[in-house]
Amino acid sequence: MEAFKSPTRPTSQTTASLSNYVDYTPRRIQASSIDRNAIKEVPSNVNYAKQRRSNFYHQIALEADENFDEKSDYMDSPAVRRLFSINEQVANVEEDSPFHALNQSRPSLPSFPQRSNWTISDFAVGHNLGMGRFGSVYLAKEKRSGQLVALKILKKQELEEAEVVPFLKREIEIQGHLNHPNITRLYGYFHNQDNVYLVLEYAGDSDLYTCLETFKRFSEAETVNYILEIADALDYMHRLGVFHRDIKLENILISKEGGLKIADFGWAVYDPKPRRTTFCGTLDYLPPEMIKRETHNESVDAWALGILCYELLVGRPPFETDKVASKDLEKAYRRIVEAPLEFPIDISVHAQNFISKLLQKDPSLRMKMSDIESDPWVKSFHMMNV
């Protein structure tokens, strides 16, 4: 745990309240649409961490360069990159790398017995890939091997202030032991005075949410192919006693070849006899049992997969809310717990039946990941591709 402590802030002697770690931030933050006058109005709690971080780093970029181009990625401004102790100018790592991440024949990253021996000087850091509640991810090249990786950078002070250091420790322990073709690999981690760096498999620049924004909706055949890959990875995890707890389109990476990888294990937990009560995840994907503050198990991933399937086919989640005021959150909670599941008329009956098996209010009635491949709707498309 010492590796994750910030020297600039004493460790809190209080125990963090794990009652509510749900992300209420709008699912896509457009820098150009941020109201500079409203930055201070963003709530200070962990639920809005991503929005608050986005506002903060955008402001850093603006203050450092009055000529900052609003169309460029503020996370790649020299001022922001300095905060992460990475090279100030974006390195063109893909052009120089002999092993491009999308080349399926590339060798695996060599394993290092002393993983803590890595330092930031061992990596040439390219462009920003994305930002989450606590981490910022950059494309990077491990200089000795030439391997492209995704470098997830977390600031120690932010982790301590949000009291989520135990979650990071668990994320490293869990993801470091998972080995499945549809799960991003964690190769190791290292740290310096201010930051913790996770060295992850680079699976491409896009995710299913970005693709959905482009294409608006996916066909049933395309959706089945995606569901099969995700379900296979989840089944593997569940058999090991691991559940993800934050399955959503943004956390499903997609390569140019169309292969999927589950990412971001920040809320994942290992619990063979699950009795979890932590209220965590993303608002649109919350299962009823979490909202009712009941214990939950791996079936929360089944619910999330049902939401994801619905969103791919329809273009929006079934219980979506655009507002995050307290009264609107209560309405959203009630819809998730009480509202019937409704479908547009162009969604086939078989697809509706499949999603309904996952979106059962009673978690004990939800379809298991191991049963998905034998579902009639899935089989009807899967057999066509065999």
**Residues 166, 266 contacting (CB under 8 angstroms):** no
Other CB atoms within 10 Å distance of the CB of residue 293: 11
Asked whether residue 221 is domain-assigned, the answer is: yes
Mark the binding-site residues, compressed into ranges.
133, 152, 201-203, 250-251, 264
Question: What pLDDT score does 26 carry?
Answer: 59
Q: What SS3 class is residue 75?
A: helix
Instruction: For residue 343, give the CATH number of its domain.
Output: 1.10.510.10
Question: What pLDDT score does 310 carry?
Answer: 98
* pLDDT averages per 10-residue partition of the chain, 386 residues: 53 39 60 45 53 82 76 86 93 69 45 64 94 89 92 92 88 94 94 94 91 94 96 97 94 86 93 74 90 91 98 94 66 89 96 98 96 95 62
Task: Considering the candidates 246, 284, 301, 375, report the single residue annotated as catalytic.
Answer: 246
166 and 196 co-located in one domain: yes
User: How far apart (Å, rounded) are the C-alpha atoms in residues 60 and 155?
Assistant: 15
226 and 180 co-located in one domain: no
Asked whether residue 273 is domain-assigned, the answer is: yes
Asked whether residue 13 is domain-assigned, the answer is: no
Decide which of 139, 169, 201 is a domain's last residue.
201
**Long-range contacts, 69-76 (Cβ 8 Å, 24+):** 70/31, 70/32, 71/32, 73/31, 73/127, 73/128, 74/31, 75/128, 75/131, 75/136, 76/127, 76/128
Q: What is the domain extent for residue 370?
A: 206-385
| DSSP per-residue letters across 21-59 | EEE-S-SS--GGG--GGGGGGS--SGGGHHHHHHHHHHH
The reply to whether 35 belongs to the active site is no
Mark the binding-site residues for ATP, compressed into ranges.
133, 152, 201-203, 250-251, 264
